[in-house]
Structures are given as structure tokens and as C-alpha cells.
Amino acid sequence: MEMRDVTVVRDGRIALDSVSLTIERGENVAILGPNGCGKSTLVKLIDRELYPRADHGSMRILGRQRWNVTELRKELGIVTNDLQAQILPETSVLDAVVAGFQGKLGVYYDEGTPERLAAAQAALVAAEAAHLSDRVFGALSSGEARRVLIARALAHDPGSLLLDEPTTSLDLVSAHALLETLRRTGKGLVLVTHHLEEIIPEIDRVVLLKAGRILADGPRREVMTSQNLSQLFCTDIVLQGDGPYSAQVRR
Ligand SMILES: Nc1ncnc2c1ncn2[C@@H]1O[C@H](COP(=O)(O)OP(=O)(O)OP(=O)(O)O)[C@@H](O)[C@H]1O
């Protein structure tokens, strides 16, 4: 993914401001920033729910300026809160995972081939959600639903996973278990988050996003400093750990 000077305007306000960012296939990178800094806007841009301003800058994904979301989803497994909300509650878990092969939500027609059903079952095992395969999606807890979405993202064996705040609404133990699952997938991880504890040691590179602009971009250990985090969150922050991280806010 290559963005050069990309600007996105939402409702008359600049949500991403001349952002230049290149992410290579298979790279493990976290995009970290406070509420409202433009993280979800970036995910929606990649997923073609939003478009950049056409009058300047350029964006290429999979080597192309115009990409097809279905093709993109073959390369990239996407997990977002929006996706979780879009799956119809009465959809069976297995259907929700199989539907991921075509980037569809909940309803599948001829794509439930034996191969795809087997791949969906294997992905449910990898995401530690095999026991949920007979349930309906709307009856799952947040943690269970998140695991099913990870299975959905893994089923078609993409090169990388794009995850928007994957542990949101999960309790401490479920969040930890989910991050362990992600570590084991061996996929490239593009993690978009404001949770420091989601920045696991596998993440090699961190991009700090502040008010729609890139504040810092580089190797995790160089970027994840108390000084940078204090600047990012406009508060005196003492960073602890070496991935995953925690932080103390000094008052
Ligand atoms: N539907 C919308 N219409 C107009 N502006 C929006 C919309 N959604 C977000 N914005 C604005 O775009 C900017 C970036 O928002 P975005 O949702 O990308 O931030 P974020 O970093 O994902 O925040 P959070 O961590 O709170 O999810 C913010 O100024 C926000 O108010």
C-alpha cells in the first residue's frame, strides 16, 4: 500500500491531512493514535468506503491506483467494528466465515464448496472458535464474535490481516488470548489502534498518527518512547514495557 500526500475530507473537515505512508506486503506495523486522529478513516480508505481528495496526492494498493475490494480482500483479511455490526444476527457462524471468501456479509450462494467449508472450519480452529460453528452470530459475546471475524479474515489465507482495534470491548483475559492467536497466525499484521497493549512484540514498525498527520514512523523501539507518546496524546506519559506496552499518565 502506497499513499502519497493523501487527504480525506469528511463532512467538510480534514480527517487525513497530506498523509504519505507505504506498507509492504507481510510487514508487521501498528498505526497508533488518539481518538479522532484518523485511524478508522485510513481503514475505510483502504476498504474503499471513503475516497481521497482527487485534486492532489495519489494512492496505490496492490500496485494499482484503482483496486477492487473483492481482490483486496483476497490479499488482506479485514477485521473492523463496522464489519462486526454489519453481519446479520441470524447468520450462522459457519456462513459468516464462508461468506468472507467473497467479501460478502452473511449470505452465501454457491461458494459453500467442500473446500471452502473445510477452510472455514480450519480457520475457526486457528481462531479458537471451532466450538462456535453451530451458533448464530447475533448470540455471541463480543469476544466470541471477534474470534469469528478473525476466522473469517483467515479462511481465504490472505498475506496480511488489517485489524482495527481488535481487542475493543474484550475483557483482560479474552484480549490477551486474542492477541496470542494473532501472534500465532504468522500473517503480516497491520494493526490500527489506540490501545498500547495491542502493540505486541511481533510489531516491527509503529506509525504515530495525530490529528490526521503522521507524527512519527519507524522501528517500534525507536518510536515507542515516553517522549513521543506524550507528544501524541498531549499529556505527560510514562511508557512501560517493551511490547506489549502500558502507560502511566502523570497529572
Ligand atoms: N461519519 C463521519 N462524518 C464526518 N466526520 C467524521 C465521521 N466519522 C469520523 N469523522 C471525523 O473524522 C476525523 C477522524 O475520525 P476517525 O473515526 O478516523 O478517527 P479514529 O482515529 O478512528 O478515532 P477513534 O479512535 O475514536 O475511533 C474526526 O475528526 C472525526 O470527527
Tell me if 12 CB under 6 Å of ligand 1: no
Q: Give the per-residue pLDDT at 106.
A: 47
Q: Whose CA is nearest to atom 1 of ligand 1?
A: 10
Q: Does the beta carbon of 100 lie inside 6 Å of ligand 1?
A: no
CA-to-CA distance for 228 and 236, rounded, in angstroms? 10
pTM of the model: 0.90
Which residue do the cell numbers 502507560 mark? 247
Q: How far is the CA of 17 from the centre of ligand 1 (A)?
A: 13
Share of the chain above pLDDT 90, in %: 56
Probe residue for ligand 1, chosen from 7, 32, 40, 191 as the CB with the greatest number of ligand atoms within 8 Å? 40
Most ligand 1 atoms within 8 A of CB, residue of 8, 32, 41 to mutate = 41
- pLDDT 10s digits, 33-84: 999 999 999 999 988 889 999 888 899 988 888 877 777 877 888 888 888 8
- Residue 48 Cβ inside 6 Å of ligand 1? The answer reads no
pLDDT of residue 104: 58
ipTM of the complex: 0.96
Q: Is 232 in the pocket of ligand 1 (CB under 6 A)?
A: no
Q: Are 73 and 58 in contact (CB under 8 A)?
A: no
Residue 121 is predicted with a pLDDT of 94
Give the chain's mean pLDDT.
Answer: 89
Environment class of residue 152 by beta-carbon count within 10 Å: exposed (0-12), middle (13-18) or buried (19+)? buried
What's the gap in Å between 13 CA and the centre of ligand 1?
10
CATH class of the domain whose range is 2-249: alpha beta
Q: Is 38 in the pocket of ligand 1 (CB under 6 A)?
A: yes
What is the C-alpha to C-alpha distance for residues 128 and 151, in angstroms, rounded to an integer?
8
The dihedral region occupied by 9, where left means phi > 0, alpha psi between -120 and 50, and beta the remainder, is beta
The response to whether residue 208 sits with its C-beta less than 6 Å from ligand 1 reads: no
Q: What's the confidence (pLDDT) of residue 26?
A: 87
Q: Is the pLDDT of residue 112 over 70?
A: no
